[in-house]
Amino acid sequence: MLVRCRKPFAKLPYDLITSLRCLRSLDLSQLALKELPDAIENLRHLRYLDLSHTFINILPESACKLYNLQVLTLINCRNLVALPDGTTYLSNLRHLNLTGCWRLISMPPHMGNLSSLQRLHRFVVGKRNGCGIGELKEMDELRAILSIDRVGDVLNITEAKKANLNKKQCLHKLELRWGRNLPKGTDEDLLEFLEPHPNLREFTVDVYPGNRFPKWMGKSVLSHLERIELYSCNYSKTLPSLGQLPSLKYLTISMMSELGSIGREFYGGSEIKGFPSLEKLHLESMVNLKEWQEIDHGEFPSLVELVVLNCPSLANLPRLPSLSKLLLDDCHGTILSSVPLLTTLSSLKIANLGRIELLPSGLLKPLSALKELKICNLYWLRALQEELGLKDLSSLRDLEIETCPRLMCLAGTRVPSTLQYLSILACTALKDLPNGLHNLSSLQELSIIKCSVASFPEDKLPSSLKKLIISACANIESLPARLHELPHLEYLAIESCQKLASLPPMGLPPSLDSLSIIRCAMLEERCKEGGEDWPKIAHIPHKWIL
């Protein structure tokens, strides 16, 4: 029998427990439960118990008499601080899920007795006798995911050896979290003896206070390892040698404040190409990283995506022969000098690059494969000069310019005719749109939001246009006069344009399916049923005038 309870009670009624003695499965997840009654011990046939997303802070010792229990799920029980000491008596337990129980300070004593556990998900190292990481010694059936928290509380190297992580061949993902960021002198040796089994596919290290990484991290014997994440390793001045891992596809390195250079050791010191399978690399929040050394073996032959966030001193990138997508956010402006070398790029986003007034001349000219370009949060940018090479991007489909408050004029900016989507957002000083919009024969969407534009160019907008959004343009007084000549326009949104007093004299195109007019006081009055402009919009199936 399966019972799912969804009534919002904080305490399970005693009568409910005593009346269901033959119950095998009980789902109490997402209730406002704060405690379980001691009478829970009467459900001796219970195999499955789900208490996820409840407010329980401790389980009663009586729950340890559920000797037939096989699955105990406590996902996101954020108030849970302890499991009962008798948990070790649940000899039939196969799955114990403690994901998201962040207040749990330790495992109960002698968890090692539960040698048949197959899924543990999370193990919190404790300091009491029988609560250490050595309790994992006999749990060789563990599979899928194991997250070990408070690794810094491991008492000594001998205890770390006992964990026998290298014998847990069914584990696919291992996470090691120290829980503090103060070194105690033995952290490097502890990590050296926490080597996983070669079958591991994903590995995470978080808040590691050591100043070096173990040698086993770069061993090619870890031939199945596909993903590595390194977070808050703030005392290490060098990266682990990961370049020779044959299956590594995804690598994230974040918050390594002492790292000054990405050097040769990162590639693995072999004549073989470094990172042969790596596809995505994220570098984040490394404030002292200044240099990325390059060696001439054709490293990163498979890398298609690179994200560099909050690395304000990094001045260069290496050659990346297959790179398709690049994001540079909060980096040193000189890093842009490496971009023209990345001729395979199809997507480029640059943001928060300091006091840049002009992007480097010729920056975009070699990027003939570029399809998507986003320029964001360049607070000192004043123009997109012709020498930039924007007009030469023969494959460009999507152009977004966002939050460049000193950008005043785009009238002289030529954009490629291949453009399909053009968005200009929060360029509050911008008064003129690019000339030649009528030549953009492929343009489908045009968005002008939070700009100082007063009018559109006299030329007709491109006949291919399907969607037009004009929002928060306080100075705009009129819409394009030839708007009615756009045969494919389906969607028109006008919002917060207080000076806009009327629709164009010739009205709107018959193709229009949706019209939204919001917070445009003068225009709203004219477009209401019976208003002067009502005949121009009466044919539109979907209208929102607010």
The terminus-to-terminus CA distance of the chain in angstroms comes to 54
Whether residue 379 contacts residue 402, with contact meaning beta carbons closer than 8 Å, is answered with no
Domain boundaries, given as residue ranges, for the chain: 358-441+450-463, 466-546
pTM score above 0.85 = yes
The pLDDT, as a whole number, for residue 442 is: 96
DSSP state of 411: T
- Tell me phi and psi for residue 438, to 5 degrees: -65, -15
Token digits of residue 460: 């007709």
The pLDDT, as a whole number, for residue 6 is: 53
Residue 401 pairs in a beta bridge with: 375, 424
Residues in the chain where the model's pLDDT stays below 50 = 1-3
Token digits of residue 123: 């193990």
Q: Residue 48: in which H helix or E strand, if any?
A: strand 48-50
Q: Is 265 helix (H, G, I), strand (E, B) or coil?
A: helix
Count Cβ atoms below 10 Å from residue 528 Cβ, excluding itself.
14
Query: If we measure between CA atoms, which residue out of 326, 390, 327, 394 comes closest to residue 364?
Result: 390
Query: If we measure between CA atoms, which residue out of 226, 186, 178 comes closest to residue 205?
Result: 178
- Tell me phi and psi for residue 136, to 5 degrees: -80, -5
Angstrom distance (rounded) from CA 328 to CA 349: 6
Angstrom distance (rounded) from CA 326 to CA 374: 10
Angstrom distance (rounded) from CA 435 to CA 446: 14
Q: Residue 264: in which H helix or E strand, if any?
A: none
Query: If we measure between CA atoms, which residue out of 133, 215, 114, 211 comes closest to residue 174?
Result: 133
Instruction: Report which residue type is found at 396.
Output: L
The pLDDT, as a whole number, for residue 1 is: 44
**Alpha-helical regions (H) of 53-121:** none
